[in-house]
Amino acid sequence: MRTAGSTKTQLRQCGVTLLELMVVLVIAAVLASIAIPSYSSYVDRANIDIAKADIQDISLAIERFYVRRSGFPESLEDIGMHTREDPWGNTYRYLNIQGTTEKERKKGFTGKGKDKENMRRDRNLKPINSDYDLYSVGKDGVSKPQLNAKPSRDDIVRAADGKFVGVAEDY
């Protein structure tokens, strides 16, 4: 026969104290504070890698067009890639800057008036390409022609006529 006192003792031995519960919650919170930013960083790097691969793929299609037609397409629609989206849901941007002499391109001039102001430029305001610009506006979805402008730092760009494909901030 059990007494009321022995039942309470058995329940205390089987139960979890409030202090133990708090310790478990603190440990879980610490682990979450480490894991969540790490996972977020991993997802960001993966999205950048996807955008870089997409830009290289689109560049190959543009080069194939150039070989067949002896000129660059006027838009991504000409190569059937105008609806292709980057990992953040934005369409890739393309600007044909061909059509001027090498000397004019180095100075940043093109035969098309609006293109002159839309050409992507480095921190010295020199054009980053002499044939065409191809880029993603990045995670924030905003961009400016100058790569060192705050909205453009997260853009994924093709620069140096295809020798560099990566984050604008790294160029």
Least confident interval from 6-20, 24-38, 62-76, 146-160? 6-20
Longest Cα pair distance anywhere in the chain, in angstroms?
Answer: 104
Residue 65 identity: F
What stretch of H or E contains 128? none
The answer to whether the pTM exceeds 0.85 is no
Is the model's pLDDT at 142 over the cut of 50? yes
What residue segments make up the domains of the chain, in order of their start?
17-170
* CATH classification code of 17-170: 3.30.700.10
What stretch of H or E contains 20? helix 18-69
Query: What contacts 156, CB < 8 A, 6 or more positions away?
Result: 48, 51, 52, 55, 86, 135, 136, 138, 165, 166, 167, 168
Residue whose entry in the numeric block shows the structure tokens 């494909």: 165
Report pLDDT digits (tens) over 107-132: 555 445 456 678 999 988 899 999 99
Least confident interval from 15-19, 37-41, 74-78, 128-132? 15-19
